[in-house]
Amino acid sequence: MPLLGFGVYQIDRSDCTEACLRAISAGYRHLDTAQLYQNEEEVGAALLQCGLPREEIFVTTKIRYPRLGKGKTYLRALQSVQKIDPRENGYVDLFLIHNPYVLKPKDRKEMWLALEKLHEEGKAKAIGVSSYKPEHLEEMREYATIWPPAVNQILLHPWTQQRETVDYCNEHGIALQAFSPLARGKKLEDTTVADIAQRLARSPAQVLIRYCLQKGWAPLPKSVNEERIKQNADVFDFDISEGDMTLLEGLDSGKGPSFDWISKGNMPSVTTWLLGVAGL
């Protein structure tokens, strides 16, 4: 898996193919989409148009629809593969369960079994999960034939370091992908990050992406802007010093992602149901 990925979350369908093509020209070889983003076909179009062999681009997508049971989940997943790579032997490199929340263990189990089937058929070269906590990963051991999952994609940046989950994944050989490594662009003016960026003559975004790489996490920054897409890929010719890594580690709020509280039974049942229908 190429470590640096291009996230297409919230990129409109109309911009998505172009954004992926820009990313590929800028050197990205890893695209991250999802059923939820509704732009899998546009990612597929970029694969066809980029002029590179299919094997050179690593593509991830994720199951959106919960509670369909194994059979329907499998069919939906197969549709995603066909959207992304419509060739007869088309495949995705990585298929993830998008989110464990608002689901019963049975739902998570059926989604995983559907992914295992897709993997056995060669339609998903690897399978994994997203936003899973250690308890969800432990639960999987009871029913999974394939364990551990190849990847856990979680919210990771200096302010949300999810140490318990990170330690668990490191211990069990589960690769970590970092979604929203730029904290959605909301922390780029943080003084610690800005100082480090100034010292390195880099941008704050580059520092945050480099931070993930040095932690061994695969960052998936999102941008629709050509300059920023390029800038975010230009992160392989400098190092953040150990001292500065420690400063960035010190920014951790210790809190999990804001959607954690949903899983703690805080949601009114109708909202829970709506989130489930929306696949969130």
Catalytic positions are 37, 98
Give the span between the Cα atoms of 42 and 111, in whole angstroms. 25
Question: Given candidates 60, 131, 232, 263, which one binds ligand A2P under the rule CB under 6 A?
Answer: 232
Which SS3 state, helix, strand or coil, does residue 31 take? strand
- From 26-34, 36-44, 166-174, 182-190, span contacting ligand A2P (CB under 6 A): 182-190
Query: Would you count residue 231 as binding ligand A2P (CB under 6 A)?
Result: yes
Q: Render the burial of 82-105: b for 16+ CB within 10 Å, e for the rest.
A: ebbbeeeebbbbbbbbbbbbbbee
**Piece of 36-44, 73-81, 222-230, 248-256 that binds ligand A2P (CB under 6 A):** 222-230
Options 223, 233, 244, 248; binder of ligand A2P; rule CB under 6 A = 223
Min separation Cβ 20 and ligand A2P, Å: 13
- List the one residue from 180, 207, 218, 244 that touches ligand A2P (CB under 6 A): 180
**Strand pairing of 92-97 and 175-179?**
unpaired
Q: Nearest residue to ligand A2P, using CB?
A: 185
> Please, what is the Cα angle at 63 between 211 and 256, to 5 degrees?
40
Cβ atoms within 10 Å, residue 171: 10
The stretch among 89-97, 143-151, 169-177, 224-232 that binds ligand A2P (CB under 6 A) is 224-232
Contact 102, 272 (CB under 8 A): yes
Inter-residue contact 222 to 10 (CB < 8 Å): yes
> Judged by CB under 6 A, does residue 182 bind ligand A2P?
yes
Helix axes 40-49, 69-84, angle to 10 degrees: 30
92-151 residues in contact with ligand A2P (CB under 6 A) are none
Given 76, 109, 228, 230, the residue binding ligand A2P (CB under 6 A): 228
Q: Which is nearer to ligand A2P, 12 or 120 (CB)?
A: 12
Q: Is 162 in the site for ligand A2P (CB under 6 A)?
A: no
Least distance from ligand A2P to the Cβ atom of residue 220, Å: 7
Q: Does 188 bind ligand A2P (CB under 6 A)?
A: yes
Q: Which is nearer to ligand A2P, 84 or 212 (CB)?
A: 212
Residue 276 in the binding site for ligand A2P (CB under 6 A): no
Give me the least distance between CB of 30 and ligand A2P, in Å please.
Answer: 14
Biggest CA–CA distance in the chain, Å, is: 54
Name the residue nearer to ligand A2P (CB basis): 5 or 148: 5
Q: How far is CA 217 from the centre of its chain?
A: 11
Measure the CA–CA gap between 223 and 159, rounded to whole angstroms: 20
Our measurement of the distance from residue 111's CA atom to the centroid of its chain's CA atoms, rounded to an integer in Å, reads 17
Q: Tokens for 32, please give them.
A: 């991250």
List the structure tokens of 14: 């109309």
Q: How far apart are the first and last CA of the chain?
A: 26
Binding site for ligand A2P (CB under 6 A): 7, 180-185, 188, 203, 205, 221-225, 228, 231-232
